[in-house]
Each structure stands twice: as C-alpha cells, then as structure tokens.
Amino acid sequence: MPKYLLGIFLGFNIFLSAQDSLMRFEYGSQVLNLNSLQKNYYYMPDRPGREYFNAVFFRITKRQNAFRCLAGYSEYTLMYQSPEGVSDAWSGNKTSKDFRIAIGVQRRCLKSSELLYTIIDMGYRNVFAQGHQYGGIFGLNDKFTISSNGIDCFIGFGLKVKLIKRIIVSPEMGFFNALNFINKTAYPVFGQAAKYKFTEFNLQPLLKVQFCVAF
C-alpha cells in the first residue's frame, strides 16, 4: 500500500509540473467591476458604478492562448435624481435582478512572458427590474417593470500578476459594449398601463479585476 501511495503522490506532482509547462487551469472570482466613477446619477443607470464579487471566473491557459468564461448573478438597488436647480428632469429608483454569462479568449503579447495579454469576451445578460419614476415635463409618478435581454462585448488588455506561485491577480482594462433589448411596462397613478419596446446601446471604458487560484 505505501508503494501505491508513493506512486500516486509522485504522479500528482508530475501532473502539476506538466500544468506549468503545458496547460493551466485557474478558478476564482471577478472581485471588481468599475463601470463608472459617478456617485450621483441624473438618469436611470444600466448597472452600478462599482460591482464587487459579482461573478465566478474560470480560465484554461495553454502556451500563448487561453479560453475563459464567467457567470454571475446579483441583486441591487440604484437611485437617481434630477440635477440641482432643474425642475423638469426625472428622478426615481430601480431594483434589479441581474444574470450574466460570458465566454472569451485571450492571447499573450510576448512569448517569453505571461504578464501582458489581449482579451475579447462575448456574453449574454438578462435583467428584471422594477421601480418608480417621478418628475419630468409631464409630472410622472409611475411604477414600472423592465425585462431585458442583452449582448455584451468586452475588448481590452490585462496583466497576469502572480502574488505567489498559484495565486494570480489579473487587472483588465478596455472598452465595454452592450446592446440591450428592453420591454418596459409603466403603471401610472391615473390611467392605464403602457407598454414600450426599445433598444439601448452603451459604449464605455471598463476596469475589472480577476482573482484566481491555479491548479
């Protein structure tokens, strides 16, 4: 029996050594999404300015290329208000349930170093939200519900920083594109409910940070 245990132990160490040279698996969390530096919103925001630990992250690296995927679910409430001195702007709040999943690829920029890499991620996003909207030219006082399906795309570059041998932090920066197909139902205090369908496109810079353990 000790011989078998010794063989398993040696085989496992050989496997880990092979991972360093051939293929590496990394699993962790997306610890930060910095969508915006704004603290006060004067419009209904699409997502929070800062998101923490909002997705799990998985990456397979082989030589210069890597396949990556992430999935996350979060719930949050956002508030927005009209600028000071503006009487006909909107204000309100929105509570959202937000599901996202994405896959992507990355490639090392230098053969001799893993430090710098380029990225492209494509994803699907589903959001259900409800809230209130007040003000505007017509003096709105509406409840509303929103359901949306969207396509997300992130293009940028990242840094692969090893804190210790198997602990990796990857800050990533680039541009985020989102195409959202939205169904909105408004419930005014007086009158009948009104339904709307429309499309939104967002393009903005994005900073995010992945924290991973390699195995």
> Is 8 exposed, middle or buried, given 0-12, 13-18 or 19+ CB atoms closer than 10 A?
exposed
Write the pLDDT tens digit of every residue in 39-71: 777 777 888 889 999 999 999 998 889 999 999
Q: What pLDDT is attached to residue 57?
A: 96
- State pLDDT tens for residues 117-130: 999 999 999 999 99
Could you tell me the residue ranges of all domains in the chain?
24-214
Give the per-residue pLDDT at 22: 52
The total of other beta-carbon atoms located within 10 Å of residue 156's CB is: 19
> Class for domain 24-214, per CATH?
mainly beta
The dihedrals phi and psi of 20, each to the nearest 5 degrees, come to -60, -35
Hey, what are 77's tokens?
A: 């409430």
Q: Structure tokens of 119?
A: 């990225």
CA dist list (Å): 175 to 109, 197, 204, 212: 18, 26, 6, 22
Alpha carbons within 13 angstroms on the beta-carbon side of residue 33 total 21
Look at residue 190 in the predicted model and tell me its pLDDT: 78
Decide: helix, strand or coil at residue 82. coil
Q: What is d(CA 177, CA 172) in angstroms, rounded to the nearest whole number?
A: 15
Q: What does the pLDDT read at residue 139?
A: 63
Q: 16 is written with which tokens?
A: 């880990």
Question: What pLDDT is attached to residue 173?
Answer: 97
Tens-level pLDDT at each residue, the chain (215 residues) = 444 434 433 443 444 444 444 568 999 999 999 988 877 777 778 888 899 999 999 999 988 899 999 999 999 998 887 777 666 677 889 999 999 999 999 999 988 888 999 999 999 999 999 998 887 666 677 899 999 999 999 999 999 999 988 899 999 999 999 999 999 998 887 778 899 999 999 899 999 999 999 98
10 membership: H or E segment, kind and range: helix 2-21
**Predicted pLDDT of residue 142:** 83
110-139 core/surface letters (b: 16 or more CB in 10 A; e: else): eeeebeebebebebebebebbbbbebeeee
* Of residues 62, 91, 63, 60, the one with CA closest to residue 78: 91
- pLDDT reported for residue 23: 66
Q: How far is CA 49 from CA 40, 78, 123, 174, in A?
A: 10, 10, 19, 16
